[in-house]
A and B are shown apart, each in its own frame.
Chain A
Amino acid sequence: AQSVSQHNHHVILSEAASLELGCNYSYGGTVNLFWYVQYPGQHLQLLLKYFSGDPLVKGIKGFEAEFIKSKFSFNLRKPSVQWSDTAEYFCAVNAYNNDMRFGAGTRLTVKP
């Protein structure tokens, strides 16, 4: 079964700093990869997804992620964070089926 590791549990940044959140998965076959975000008091929502093709995918609100197959990684990046990016971020993976496995989440706090 696939599994996901997120190495950073809590990240604290100042506004305008650059962000990179790590995500590694374990599964030997073809995978679909996702980043979800949960803003305080809100539903989980999709930030971006990778199915195939260009390994650099762009999502909403200026986020992007890069799939590196050789490293089993799908790291999330944003060049300049804003206070409104304060949220919890979840990496998720699935293989050929439609159920998904999530990482433990990374809490991002952006100081104004």
Chain B
Amino acid sequence: DVKVTQSSRYLVKRTGEKVFLECVQDMDHENMFWYRQDPGLGLRLIYFSYDVKMKEKGDIPEGYSVSREKKERFSLILESASTNQTSMYLCASSFPRREGGAEQYFGPGTRLTVT
């Protein structure tokens, strides 16, 4: 079974703090993704990566950055956390598929509260 793990289930941080969310997958997937999930908005793509040291902006990258130094690990960084970044953060991974449409496997999520 594919396993995607996230470093924390719950996290509480103060405004202005630097926050690191870690994601690790054990299936040698090339593709990794970070989403945030908010009620009524579904999942919105923040950043994704198709390879080590590669990153692409998703639909809502402002206020976030990412790091992918190893294939299995994809980190999401909030440089200076703000209250509007309070959300559930989901990590996902997939194999590439030439025609697109690769199934994504999700981690359990990190519920981040910024006070």
Chain A contact residues, majority secondary structure: loop
Chain B residues contacting A70 (CB-CB under 8 Å) are none
Beta-carbon nearest neighbor of A33 in chain B: B101
- Check B45–A96 contact: CB distance below 8 A: no
How many residues in A have their beta carbons less than 8 Å from beta carbons of B? Answer: 27
How many residues in B have their beta carbons less than 8 Å from beta carbons of A? Answer: 30
Q: Tell me whether A100 and B107 are in contact in the complex, defined as CB-CB below 8 angstroms, given that A9-B40, A90-B43, A105-B42 are known contacts.
A: no
Chain A 20-43 near chain B by CB (<8 Å), digits 1 or 0:
000000000000101000000011
- Check B106–A104 contact: CB distance below 8 A: no
- What are 17 A-B residue pairs whose CB atoms fall within 8 Å in the complex? A1-B59, A34-B101, A44-B43, A44-B92, A51-B101, A92-B43, A94-B100, A94-B101, A95-B100, A98-B97, A98-B102, A99-B45, A99-B58, A100-B104, A101-B59, A102-B35, A103-B42
